[in-house]
């Protein structure tokens, strides 16, 4: 019969197909947690093919993506199902480039012009700051020998 088997009475009652539906979503590959608990079934299950509903965040929430795909499609790496405004990403722990000095004040998209999951950004100063180099490359690309991440204007002479 249907995708979910022949025992309709497991979820439905005789008084009406849409009345008092009992279905344990925890037994599926997508347990409902956070705000998903209060979403009407038909918001995710657009057709009668219930098993065809998307299970990835981006699949359903692409239109809600404030980053316009710029940080990749793995929403759960920063966000929780309890709301988009509740997020946490520790750049220092989750990447090989701790944000120090002036970098810690930047918005994500200041560096991540393309999806973070698709592009590994260089950790060399010159990769982003080639236009800021008043030395025009004559001292090489090891800016940190004389400069700090606080400001290029701060110079430490050794």
Q: What is the pLDDT along the chain (158 residues), one digit of tens a residue?
A: 456 677 787 788 878 777 777 788 887 888 999 999 998 888 888 887 777 888 888 888 888 888 877 778 888 888 889 988 888 888 888 888 899 988 999 888 888 877 666 667 888 887 888 888 888 888 887 888 888 888 777 777 65
pLDDT, residue 35, reads: 92
Q: Each residue of 132-141: pLDDT tens digit? A: 888 888 888 7
Q: Each residue of 124-133: pLDDT tens digit? A: 887 888 888 8
Report pTM: 0.54
Rounded Cα gap, residues 98 and 53, in angstroms: 38
Handedness of CA 67, 69, 70, 73 (dihedral sign): positive
pLDDT, residue 34, reads: 92
Rounded Cα gap, residues 135 and 56, in angstroms: 48
- Note whether 86 and 133 are within 8 A (CB): no
pLDDT, residue 158, reads: 59
* Lookup result for tokens 């990447």: 95
Handedness of CA 94, 96, 101, 107 (dihedral sign): negative
* Lookup result for tokens 């200041």: 110
């Amino acid at each position: 019969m249907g995708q979910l088997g022949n025992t309709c009475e497991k979820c439905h009652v005789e008084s009406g197909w849409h009345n008092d539906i009992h279905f344990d979503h925890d037994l599926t590959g997508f347990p409902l947690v956070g705000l998903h608990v209060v979403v009407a079934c038909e918001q995710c299950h657009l057709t009668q093919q219930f098993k065809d509903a998307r299970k990835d965040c981006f699949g359903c929430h692409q239109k809600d993506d404030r980053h316009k795909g710029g940080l990749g499609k793995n929403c759960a790496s920063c966000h929780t199902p309890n709301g988009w405004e509740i997020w946490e990403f520790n750049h220092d722990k989750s990447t090989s480039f701790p944000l120090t000095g002036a970098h810690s004040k930047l918005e994500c998209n200041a560096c991540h012009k393309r999806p973070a999951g698709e592009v590994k950004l260089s950790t060399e100063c010159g990769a982003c700051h080639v236009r800021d180099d008043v030395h025009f490359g004559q001292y090489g690309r090891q800016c940190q020998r004389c400069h700090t991440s606080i400001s290029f204007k701060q110079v430490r002479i050794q």
